[in-house]
Structure 1
Amino acid sequence: MEELILGIVQGLTEFLPISSSGHLAIFTALFNSTPDVGYFAFLHLATFLAVLIFVKAEVFEIITGITKKETEYINLASKLVLSTIPAVIVGLCFGDFIESVFSSTLLIGVFLSITGILMLLSDNLNKNLKTIKSIPYWDALIIGVFQAFSVLPGISRSGTTLFAALFLGMNKEDAVKYSFLMSLPVTFGAGILELQKITFSSEQLFGFVISFLTGLLGLYLVKKMVIGGKLKIFGYYCFLASFFVIMFL
């Protein structure tokens, strides 16, 4: 049952800007069990498949453009790679510290508050000056740096990348697309690196399937909420979750 619930939590919260890793750690604390970072990463592979399906048209377009040696798609792919590098560096260099944070509900609560602040600010960022293809490399790096902070439980990956993209002037729909696209290598890499730590069971595999299905639902919801200017709702939720975690866990 625990694996099933964690699969649902991972699927829904991976793309909603409320921190999937933070919620996995919270529910693990509620179950009074030890955080299984390996299983958490395994669930990331499920949401990797969900986002791959959700942005399959964009991925196919990029791959086709690269094979045809079209400059704009080569540049876009390069920017996505650049956006990924900071998170990879942080994950490899500070893996042990990050894993220890999963056991600190106080820090998770503080980080959830930070995510909440970013979400409240994001709704007021609507410059619509840049598209997914027109952002400069410097912007791609900045968005990547924001994503790097999301290795900490309570800091939302989608929340930080959406905030950074909107702050830098990207239109809302393209900000969502860029956030989803740049999540692919990070979630895939995290899952693959931790597979060796997992002892597979039927319950864990079922949790994987549930995480995939709920991930598709989460993708649809976050796209609708971002374009509709309703990110503040997630901000208020993060504050409530932060209060609960700090006071009762």
Structure 2
Amino acid sequence: FEIVVHFGTLCSILIYYRALIGDILKSGVSFLAAPKEKKDDPNVKMILFVLISMIPAFIVGFTLKDSVESIFDSPFLVSIMLVVTGFILFLTKFAKEKDGE
């Protein structure tokens, strides 16, 4: 069941952001063809940032796999974390917008 839910989330994100993801992938391919010309492209930097951000997640996930799985097996803890996440998302309604965002 969890895999189906995550797959649905992935599909909806890919559909909603298809143009942006397409631009990022095109920039990545053109960077591989001509790295010197595309090194300052913001989309190439985004790819680099995403790849770098995956490193700590991989390390933590690989080393703490059993501990994390046991934590998420507790329905009480999962429900508390969902409430906390909902509260944080609610607070974003009151955040001040920066110029151009």
TM-score between both structures, scaled by the size of structure 2: 0.68
C-alpha distance in 2 between matches for 1:42 and 1:93: 26
C-alpha distance in 2 between matches for 1:78 and 1:96: 29
Offset at 1:114?
1.8
Say whether residues 1:103 and 2:73 are aligned partners.
yes
C-alpha distance in 1 between matches for 2:76 and 2:63: 23
Residue 84 of structure 1 corresponds to 54
Counterpart code for 2:55: I
What aligned pairs does 1:1-249 form with structure 2 within 5 A after superposition? 39-69=1-31, 70=38, 71=40, 72-129=42-99, 171=101
SS at match of 1:68: helix
Counterpart code for 1:57: A
Compare the two structures and name the one with the higher helix fraction: 2
% same residue: 25
Counterpart code for 1:86: P
Counterpart code for 2:16: F
Offset at 1:111?
1.3
**Structure-2 change in CA distance of 1:63 and 1:129 (3 Å):** same
Offset at 1:45?
2.8
Offset at 1:78?
1.0
Offset at 1:58?
0.8
Counterpart code for 2:11: L
Residue 146 of structure 1 corresponds to none
RMSD: 2.4
TM-score between both structures, scaled by the size of structure 1: 0.32
Offset at 1:124?
1.9
**Structure-2 change in CA distance of 1:73 and 1:96 (3 Å):** same
Q: Deviations over 1:123-182 (max 9, x none)?
A: 12233257xxxxxxxxxxxxxxxxxxxxxxxxxxxxxxxxxxxxxxxx3xxxxxxxxxxx
Pairs aligned (count): 93
Counterpart code for 1:127: E
Offset at 1:68?
2.9
C-alpha distance in 1 between matches for 2:58 and 2:99: 29
Offset at 1:42?
4.9
SS at match of 1:123: helix
